[in-house]
Amino acid sequence: MRIFCGRANPTTGAMEWLEEDENYDYHQEIARSRYADMLHDKDRNVKYYQGIRAAVSRVKERGEKAIVLDIGTGTGLLSMMAASAGADFCYAVEVFKPMANAAVKIVEKNGFRDKIKVINKHSTEVTVGPDGDMQCRANILVTELFDTELIGEGALPSYEHAHKYLVQEGCEAVPHRATVYVQLVESKRMWSWNKLFPIHVEAEDGEKVIVSPSEVENCPGVPSVCDIQLNQMPSSDFTILSDVVPMFSVDFSKPVRSASTYYRVQLEPVKSGKAQVVLSWWDIDMDPSGMINCTMAPYWVKSTSAFQ
């Protein structure tokens, strides 16, 4: 049995799928995963179902059969949503074998055996044709490959391959679009995560202060990403220095490139202070109009969807 598990490359930070030994305790992998969190995320699931149902309707209105490709199906939830919404057939791709096996049982138990085919492969290994994993290219692409940084789980290579080999040109995509936003703030608390400050300790002869060498204090360090829940940051812990600015946007219904690139935006100050931390989050539009929007925006931002 071949078992692939996701691992972050310590050099590049990219997510990679590595083959584990047959004795690997994959139960721990599942226990540490976020499958349960996603299954209980009602807002996310409702928005996905609304987007999938709308995509199936648009395809049907064109007089076409709705053929769905679900990359990273996990438990098979999104494929079952598509089948419930009237899709003619769904190809549910899952590389993690224990989860793929679970998806097969879940799909069968819910009565979708004739509508959903679970494929235990990485999506870049899936083939199309009479003898392939898929009989034809899909016209609806459904994915949940996102992490806290949006595209950190190898999403772009999967999208790039899918558009080249697995889906039709001009396919529907759920989500349809994603946008990353940034905002500049001053925050002693968040800045301290990247700096060494004097440490006060109690000693027998009084309080002592441990101070780092000047070479360390003056070293700017390497910019790093800290995964935090912004909604749990008290407003007293930071000062907003700029407006919210869209960093970049990705249209998943069109061919996507995975090659390295960069984006540059200019943040105009709205208040004086030390530019210490850039906060970032993302929104996803489940439909082309942007009416079905799932936002990660923090509590102090009303809406960051540039397309509403």
Catalytic residues: 144, 153
Pairing of strands 116-119, 167-174: unpaired
* 67 φ, ψ (degrees, to nearest 5): -110, 120
User: Could you check whether the bond before residue 10 is cis, i.e. omega within 30 degrees of 0?
Assistant: no
Q: Rounded to an integer, what distance in angstroms lies between the CA atom of residue 244 and that of residue 239?
A: 13
Q: How far is CA 93 from the centre of its chain?
A: 16
**What DSSP string describes 5-47?**
EEEE-TTT--EEEEEEPTT--HHHHHHHSSHHHHHT-HHHHHH
Q: Closest Cα partner for 226 from 35, 13, 20, 17?
A: 13
Q: Rounded to an integer, what distance in angstroms lies between the CA atom of residue 196 and that of residue 33?
A: 32
Q: Rounded to an integer, what distance in angstroms lies between the CA atom of residue 80 and that of residue 244?
A: 37
Q: Rounded to an integer, what distance in angstroms lies between the CA atom of residue 93 and that of residue 114?
A: 16
